Amino acid sequence: MRLVVLALLLVGLGAHTSAQVVPEPAPLPSDAELTEFLANPSTTAAQAYEVGVHFFEARRYEAAETAWLRAHSLGRDPTLLVAVADTRQRRGDEPGAVAMLEQYLVERPDAPDRVSIEARIATLLQSPAVLVVRSEQPGHAILLDGVPVETKTPAELEVEPGTHVVVVVGEGKQVGEKTVQVGYGEVAELDFTPDTTSHVIVEQSEEATLQAQLAIEKENTIIRRAVISTGSIAAAALVTGTVLGFLALREEQHYRDNPAKETADKGEQLALFADISFGLAALSAITSFTLFMTHKNKRKRERETARLRMEIRGAGAAATVKF
């Protein structure tokens, strides 16, 4: 009976009617009915393919893949492997999509679309992995491979394929640490609870700490000198512009009392130099302020990173990772 229903479904879905009233689409078969239909010896490759099309249009990609793989096994049509790759890519299974596309090129070595298929494979191979990090209480801080990330839990982090260590910190009281290995395009879900254990303390070795402190002090000295220098230039230029502006006003007054070309030219030159001085003062002041604020914000981020590491260490971890 189920096979009869599926056969009628294929006829109903594939038929083109000229009637003005469009009939309601026939319901898609259940997974059990689909399995029975595809396993029946009388089912043809064309029928399996047609059922897969309707499942694909309904966004039931797993069922569409099952139908198309059966159609491929019956008819050995390599182009069906590209269709299967489409279903896998829509489900976020990039490795599975690459496998199907590579199999397509093996079965069809003279494929006219080889260049585009190879370009598609190359693009898929560049797909980053995704780590979905969740905690029982949202808003916890996250360290990815020892580096704090801006987003809090829950978060989706794009990472390079490989092994990664994720640490979650909750108000310095809870620490969870998980190591995960992901491939390109893979999605890994990491759930952290109060029972999640940690065996990592993030700290610097004494030598690395000393080198970091020396580097910070050197950078602070350079920035401080730059801020002082640009600030001094701004002040000097402002004083010079004020003096030149005063002289230009005096020459303008002389010109009014005794008009002369020499007096007018001298006044214009003084006014020009005054404008240049004021412009230099403004530019230097902006530069000095920008250097100061940029450096201040950088140090603030570094202090937040240090505080986060202290919270991790204070949460009761047992081992030490030095870098």
Q: What is the pLDDT of residues 224-269, one digit of tens each?
A: 887 788 888 888 888 887 887 778 787 777 777 777 777 677 778 8
Residue 320, pLDDT > 60, answer: no
Residues 103 and 144 in one domain: no
Residues 91 and 175 in one domain: no
Measure CA 175 to chain center. 25
**Boundaries of domain holding 242:** 203-322
Give the separation between CA 146 and CA 97, rounded to whole angstroms: 32
Give the separation between CA 300 and CA 255, rounded to whole angstroms: 56
Residues 178 and 108 in one domain: no
pTM of the model: 0.47
Token digits for 193? Answer: 């609870």
Say if residues 87 and 64 touch (Cβ distance below 8 Å).
yes
Residue-wise pLDDT tens digits, 13-24: 444 444 444 455
Residues 121 and 134 in one domain: no
Which residues, at least 6 apart from 34, have a Cβ–Cβ distance to it below 8 Å?
A: 6, 51, 55, 63, 66, 67
Residue 108, pLDDT > 60, answer: yes
Residues 289 and 179 in one domain: no
pLDDT of residue 300: 62
